[in-house]
Homo-oligomer: A and B are copies of this chain.
């Protein structure tokens, strides 16, 4: 058992997917006693083997200063926090929840309000950077919340991130910025695919496309990051196609509830849905290029 002294600054990560596992191992590497939870026994075993501890089961108090919830969406976040085995009623007063999933700002505000009823702090803290940066403790966090929430979250934030954008004391600002970033990132990947395959119809090879465009005004962060996957014909998932119907869906849900028209985002979303329908959901998101290639009858690198 950890001593009293160890546990007072212990942290927990709920959701040990590629992002959450990276954060949990970064927390361990920073010397923080770290609890973890995941539905996968395989992932739990991997975490414990690396020095992590299993989060105590239902009804037990959780003596941790900070819990990061690194799950897929709003529904999973709410279940983790307030469901049948919900964490928040079991936390000490003054502990902080970091909401790391991409969710609507309104949802984040509702979670914060419910935490307040238990004397628990809430930091709206969506993360960005991908699995490699997560593994290296180099995430970007788009964070907003009270100074007390930032203070309580500081040891965990220090361990997992290289950059924390402090977006003010209003919960929701972090999630709003994350939605803005996902709108851009999702559209840019799909546009990379549209341009790369369009170029192929005109005799521009994918490697020449990448070499030239990455030095021109048509470049984007996502183009430089994802076009190499198409050039290599390697769709091992760094970030899955499946992420985008979810995240662009959240963007459009927020947009519609505000009467905001986002036609480019809608068009990109339709392309990702075609990719999912084509059975590409679990591939790297650069595989959206396959939707275009199939329509245009061009053969991508590595295609048989």
Contact status A218-B182, CB under 8 Å: yes
Looking at A129, A266, A267, which has the most chain B CB atoms within 10 Å of its CB?
A267
**Residue of B at shortest CB range from A144?**
B203
Question: CB-CB < 8 A to A265: which residues of B?
Answer: 194
Task: Determine chain A's interface SS by DSSP, over half rule.
Answer: helix
Contact status B180-A204, CB under 8 Å: yes
Is A191 in contact with chain B by the CB < 8 A criterion?
yes
Looking at A182, A185, A222, A260, which has the most chain B CB atoms within 10 Å of its CB?
A260
Alpha-carbon separation in the docked complex, A271 to B142 (Å):
30
Question: CB-CB < 8 A to A196: which residues of B?
Answer: 180
Contact status A223-B184, CB under 8 Å: yes
Alpha-carbon separation in the docked complex, A184 to B265 (Å):
15
Is A262 in contact with chain B by the CB < 8 A criterion?
yes
12 more A-B residue pairs beyond the given contacts A177-B208, A202-B258, with a C-beta to C-beta distance below 8 A: A128-B217, A140-B215, A173-B203, A176-B202, A179-B198, A179-B202, A180-B198, A182-B218, A187-B191, A201-B258, A220-B220, A260-B296
